[in-house]
Amino acid sequence: MNGKPIATPKRTTDILHKYGFSFKKSLGQNFIIDVNILQNIIREAGISETSGVIEVGPGIGALTEQLANAADKVVAYEVDSRLLPILDDTLHNCGNVQVVHQDILEADVKAMMNVCFDANQSIHVVANLPYYITTPILMKLLREELPVSSFTVMIQKEVAQRMAAQPNSKQYGSLTIAVQYYTDAEVVMSVPRSVFMPPPNVDSSVLKLTKKTEPPVEVDDEDYFFALVQACFAQRRKTLRNNLRRHFSEWADRDIITAVLDETGIDPVRRGESLTMEEFAGLANAFYRKFRN
């Protein structure tokens, strides 16, 4: 594209002044002002000239501009109407970008993909996500089983660590299981606060989620599985037996809970953070068959 990239301190400041734009903390707006960081994100995402890209929260278009240079087509969802005229200006040379003024949490993303992208095109989500709403956005996109190859997102460091965690770590929890049920998760970059305007109050990481062709475990009912996993982490310091007694208070007493745990070969005094996804699946299926059939 012509001119200096959007993602520089001076160009960003000039754009903000031109439009009298003020940041809304409620929308988690922190704009990236380092082109190298953006290009590294795009490289980690594996974007090529044949790729389709979905972006969430383009802001003033810093990442969008770089994606437009690298990809075939970019569809960017922006909820803040104040940014629409700015994006019209900053991206006016990017003929392969479509900005959608819609809340991603309410959007029919699959329908958009059918219209905007080719049937056999490799589609990727690449975004600097608003930190306050990272998990709902990712879980919506994952659970809708969109034909997306990968998600490469800038998010809060602690959340990235939780999504990529392994058993027997303090970061490992129900969010870990939910994300890794659908994807292989890897933290690929750490990002300093200094590359944002304004600088956030938290550290940031880039997380890459590569979509699995099928879930790593077989479960009888996905909603039941995720609910049971959450129950096992309800009070992290309590044993599985105690957390499950609380969860199944209307269905089962201590002896029934212990019997099902014994049936699956899981020690009742273990804690949720020690269980693998395979063990959670076995446990969920055992309880589902006992109480729901």
Choice among 29-38, 171-180, 283-292 with the minimum mean pLDDT? 283-292
Q: Is 30 labelled a binding residue?
A: yes
Place of tokens 């095109």: 121
User: By the 8 A CB rule, do 124 and 152 touch?
Assistant: yes
Rounded to an integer, the average pLDDT of 236-264 is: 87
pLDDT band at residue 75 using 50, 70 and 90 as cut-offs: very high
- The strand ranges marked E within 67-219 are 73-77, 97-100, 123-128, 150-156, 183-191, 196-197, 204-211
119: phi then psi, degrees, rounded to nearest 5: -60, -40
Residue-level pLDDT at 3: 74
pLDDT band at residue 1 using 50, 70 and 90 as cut-offs: very low
pLDDT band at residue 2 using 50, 70 and 90 as cut-offs: very low
Residue-level pLDDT at 255: 84
Rounded to an integer, the average pLDDT of 165-189 is: 97
Q: Is there a shared CATH topology between the 9-211 domain and the 222-291 domain?
A: no
Rounded to an integer, the average pLDDT of 133-148 is: 95
Residue-level pLDDT at 101: 98
Q: Is 114 labelled a binding residue?
A: no
Choice among 176-180, 206-210, 242-246 with the minimum mean pLDDT? 242-246
Between 92 and 293, name the one with better pLDDT: 92
The superfamily CATH assigns to domain 222-291 is rRNA adenine dimethylase, C-terminal domain (1.10.8.100)
Q: Is 120 labelled a binding residue?
A: no
**pLDDT mean across residues, the chain:** 94
Q: Is 3 labelled a binding residue?
A: no
Between 261 and 255, name the one with better pLDDT: 261
Between 27 and 263, name the one with better pLDDT: 263
pLDDT at 24 over 90: no
Rounded to an integer, the average pLDDT of 55-72 is: 98
pLDDT at 191 over 90: yes
Q: What are the residue boundaries of the structural domains of the chain, listed by start? A: 9-211, 222-291
Q: Is 103 labelled a binding residue?
A: yes
User: By the 8 A CB rule, do 5 and 33 touch?
Assistant: no
Query: Looking at this protein, which amino acid is placed at residue 242?
Result: N
Residue-level pLDDT at 214: 94
Residue-level pLDDT at 293: 56
Which pair of tokens denotes residue 137?
């956005």
At 151, is the secondary structure helix, strand, or coil? strand
CATH topology of domain 9-211: Rossmann fold (3.40.50)
Cα–chain center distance at 141: 8
Between 40 and 30, name the one with better pLDDT: 40
Q: Is 32 labelled a binding residue?
A: yes
pLDDT at 40 over 50: yes
